[in-house]
Chains A and B, each alone.
Chain A
Amino acid sequence: QSALTQPASVSGSPGQSITISCTGTSSDVGNYHLVSWYQQHPGKAPKLMIYEGSKRPSGVSNRFSGSKSGNTASLTISGLQAEDEADYYCCSYAGNTTRVFGTGTKLTVL
């Protein structure tokens, strides 16, 4: 149950697009279409942004999109806005009710 690998930090200017990668193994990311992404602002609880790899919950901006290829999932945020600055975590189902989170990525909007 090793944590999924994410870049420690990414940054972009307002209006730009950024992509955060999430690399796992054939036992988690590569084996299930059940990757989710969470946004966490300082001092706040995480918020679901993407589920089942690429689906957006009601109320989440369509500037957020997800994809997966092999053992790597990705979150793309287009049209960056100041309020997007936060920590982002991926999470994959890993079988038998278990799951594993990513190491987390700090997004800075310049």
Chain B
Amino acid sequence: EVQLVESGGGLVQPGRSLRVSCAVSGFTLEDYAMHWVRQAPGKGLEWVSGISWNSGSVGYAEVVKGRFSISRDNAKNSLYLQMNSLRIEDTALYYCAKDWGPWGSGSLNYWGHGTLVIVSS
């Protein structure tokens, strides 16, 4: 059974940093691209970042480019999102999602339940 479990969310002050993680099981992580998608309270889905199977291709939404960094450790079956210079508008439930294929152009066929990040003073 495919499982994605996010962790590391919490309350953080504006301007500070936070790293969220996603532990996966039930499939071979190194065969697939992975993504982070967020959803602010009461709002729609927003793609944040994606990374190919070998970390050779990464992409970011314009609103997080230069502040967020995605990475993965296939040996540890884990995906990460390092979030720096956090803003109040980054407050959201952050979902980890598995890509259909290895390069990051596929659909997102499995999702975790999300980890909540609240940016507030």
Contact = CB atoms under 8 A, between A and B. Distances in A.
Interface stretch (A10-18, A19-27, A75-83, A90-98): A90-98
Interface in B87-114: 95, 100, 103-109, 111-114
A97 B51 contact: yes
Q: Which of B33, B111, B112: most chain A Cβ within 10 A?
A: B111
B82 interface: no
A34 B116 CA distance: 29
Contacts, number: 72
Interface residues of B, number: 29
Contacts of A99: 35, 47, 50, 59
A11 B47 CA distance: 26
A8 B109 CA distance: 24
A89 interface: yes
B26 interface: no
Interface of B: 33, 35, 37, 44-47, 50-52, 57-62, 95, 100, 103-109, 111-114
Given A45-B111, A98-B50, 5 more contacts: A46-B111, A57-B109, A96-B59, A97-B103, A102-B44
